[in-house]
Structure formats: structure tokens, C-alpha cells
Amino acid sequence: MIVCLGDSTTAGTPLFKSPVEAPPHGAGDERSQFAYWLRKARPDWTVLNHGVNGERSDEIAARFDRDVLAHAPRVVVIIAGVNDVYQGRSVDYVTTQLGAIYARAARAGIPVVAGSIVPYNTATPEQNARMREINEWIRSTGTTGTTGTTGTRVWFVDTRSAVADPADADLLRASPDGLHPDIDGYRRMAEALLPAIAAAAG
């Protein structure tokens, strides 16, 4: 089992609501979530979408026991931090929260696939700078599945690049609302995540 834990870009916003948001199966266009494309690529995997639109990293951390540990997954995919940046929280705040989540996974023996924060088109230069700094911290925490400073095995995946405009890394390649990837963007996220999840799952 693979659990995908995060905010709107895990949930599948704006075209899909995750099963956490709209129990029991979610609602909307199921293609608008990277979990859907992971399942399509690997029908042998059970992939749970536990994203919630609008949540900060601390709110995501608060759900860890219920939405990750209770399911005893082989791997947890974590993408978080964009709402913290949007709401003005510091880089240190986000990396502290992410580090705590990774450490909780370590204590449970669950490998982490850590995605980078994806862009949104209305971000200011200062917000983009914070996102880049957070993403660099995520990259440094785990690049190839080695045990990092958080004590768990962390695979870094550059999900930001997967959905970014090739001409401008701070903009989405395509988006229905300027804030979230389109269906093809979620497919691209899944393609980027697949090798790391397979490696982490062993």
C-alpha cells in the first residue's frame, strides 16, 4: 500500500476532491490526481489519496497517525508546504514541520518519497524564493534513498519541475485555475514519482 499525504496538489484540486475531503471515494474527475495515474501505471499497487486542499504542513502533520500510520503503508509520499508559503510562514517553519513528519515515518519504519512544492502562477518573487529554499532542503534531506538527518530513508522527487512551464520554472505548464496542475500535470507528477516509489517499496 502507498499513502499519498499532502495538500491540494495531492488531493487533485480543482477538479477532484480526495476521499478524505469527500468520503468514501472522492468526487469529481478522478484523472485530476497523481494517485489515479500511479494506479493506472501500477495496478498491483493500492494507492490512497490522503490530500486535503488548503492545508499547511502542520495541519498535514496532525493527520499523520490517522491517515498514514493507521494504514501501515509500504511507502508514504509527502508533498507539503505551499500553503505555508502562501500564508507567510517562514522556510524554517516549513522545514521543521516536514522534518518532524519524516522523523515520525522513520520511527514507524516507513520510507518517504518527498516531492518538491509545485509552482502557482500568482506567486511573488519572494514566495518563489521561499519555495526554492524549502525544495532545496527537501532535496538535501534525501536524494537517493539514503538515511538522512531525519533518520529515515527519503527519496527526493522534483515534482515542481514535472509540472513547471519549460520556459519559466516559476509557472505551471498548464492549469485550469492558475494555482494547480491540469490533468496532464498530475499525470506528469505520477511519472516523476513512480521510480522513487518503486525503489522505496523495495
- Global model pTM greater than 0.85: yes
Tens of pLDDT, residues 90-122? 999 999 999 999 999 999 999 999 999 999 999
Q: Cβ(21)–Cβ(15) under 8 Å?
A: no
Q: In 3D, which of 185, 182, 189, 193 has the Cα closest to residue 14?
A: 182
Q: What is the pLDDT of residue 150?
A: 47
What is the rounded CA–CA span in Å between residue 147 and residue 152?
5
Percent pLDDT > 70 in the chain is 95
Q: In 3D, which of 201, 100, 112 has the Cα closest to residue 154?
A: 112
Taking CA atoms, 95 is separated from 61, 84, 130, 185, in Å, by 12, 11, 11, 25
What is the rounded CA–CA span in Å between residue 52 and residue 55?
6
**Grid coordinates belonging to 183:** 490533468
Whether domain 2-201 has CATH 3.40.50.720: no
Taking CA atoms, 139 is separated from 25, 114, 118, 133, 201, in Å, by 32, 8, 14, 10, 19
**Grid coordinates belonging to 98:** 516536514
Q: Distance from CA of residue 28 to its chain's centroid?
A: 20
Q: Rounded mean pLDDT of 68-83?
A: 98
Tens of pLDDT, residues 143-185? 555 544 445 689 999 999 999 999 999 999 999 999 999 999 9
Q: Rounded mean pLDDT of 34-58?
A: 98
Q: What is the pLDDT of residue 141?
A: 86
Q: What is the pLDDT of residue 143?
A: 58
Q: Rounded mean pLDDT of 25-35?
A: 98
For the chain, the structural domain boundaries read 2-201
